Amino acid sequence: MARLTVHARRALVQERQKQILDAAARVFSEKGFDATTIRDVARAAGVSDGLLYRYFKNKQDLLVHLPRQFIQPPIEAFQAASMRANAAPPSPDELLTSLVQNMATLMTQNRELMRVLFTSLPTMDEATRATYMRQAPLYAMETIETYITAQQAAGIFRADLDPAITARLLPGIMMFFLIVQEIFQPPDLPRFEYEKVIPNVVEIFLRGVIKPSVKSQTSSVKRE
C-alpha cells in the first residue's frame, strides 16, 4: 500500500476532525453539554470512542474547538477580500458590514450551540479557556488587527489608535448585542432586526456617535 504524503495525511486528519466536530455540534445542540457523552459524539460521527480520543482529549476539548469550525470560512473570506491583488478591495463600510453580517448569521444559525459554549466557559480550567481563545477570538481579532494596521498605513484609519485594541471593539460590540438578544433575552421581549442593527454597529465603529459639528466643537474645547 502506498504511503500517504504529508499533505494527504494532513488533509485526512482535518477531514476527520471536521467530521467529529460536526457531530459534536449536532449532539451538543440537541442534548446539551452535560448530558452528552463522548460515546454519543462518536456514534453520531460514525467512529469509535478510541478513534475520537486520538483527535480530542475530552468533551471540553471538543467544545472549544467548535467555534473555529464556524468562523474560519468568513474570516478567510474577509482576509481574501481585504487583500485582493487584481481588483480594488471593498470599502471599509462594505467589508466590515459583511464581517458583522456573518457574525449575526453564525450566531442565529448556531444559537443553541453558542448557548452551550458561553454557559460552559466559566467552568473550564485556564488551559482549556486559553485553547478556546486561540481557536476563535484571538484568531478573528488578529485578522481584523492586520486589516486595521494596513488601513492605518494607507492613511484611511487614524494612526493614533492602537490597532490591537481597535480590532477588539467591532466584534466586541456586535457579539455583546448578539449574546444578549440571542442567548439571554426571553423570547417574548421585543427583538431588533439585524438589517437595522448591523449598519448602526458599523457606522458607530467607523465614525462614532457625536455629530461632526459637535465633534469639532468638543475638540476645540479640549485644545483650549
DSSP readout, 105-141? HHHHHTHHHHHHHHHHGGGS-HHHHHHHHHHTHHHHH
Structural Rg of the chain based on CA atoms: 21
- Residues 199/204/206/211 CA torsion (nearest 10 deg): 120
Domain boundaries, the chain: 1-56, 58-210
- Topology of the domain comprising 1-56: Arc Repressor Mutant, subunit A (1.10.10)
- The pLDDT of residue 12: 87
The whole-number pLDDT of residue 118 equals 85
The more confident residue out of 6 and 19 is 19
pLDDT digits (tens, 9 = 90+) for 136-157: 999 999 999 999 999 999 999 9
pLDDT at 143 (0 to 100):
95
**According to the CATH classification, is domain 58-210 in 1.10.760.10?**
no
Residues 82-103 have pLDDT tens digits of 887 667 779 999 999 999 999 9
Q: What pLDDT is attached to residue 138?
A: 93
Cα–Cα distance, 136 to 114 (Å, whole number): 12
Would you say residue 222 has pLDDT above 70? no
- Cβ contacts of 164 within 8 Å, gap of 6 or more: 141, 145
The grid cell for 98 is 459583511
Could you tell me which residue, 212 or 28, shows the higher pLDDT?
28
Indicate the pLDDT class of residue 216, thresholds 50, 70 and 90: low
Which residues are CB-neighbours of 9 under 8 A, at least 6 positions away? none
pLDDT at 221 over 60: no
Q: Is the backbone of residue 208 left (phi > 0), alpha (psi -120 to 50) or beta? A: left
Say yes or no to pLDDT of 15 above 60: yes
Average pLDDT, the chain: 89
What global pTM score does this model have?
A: 0.83
- Give the tens place of pLDDT for each residue, 183-192: 989 989 999 9
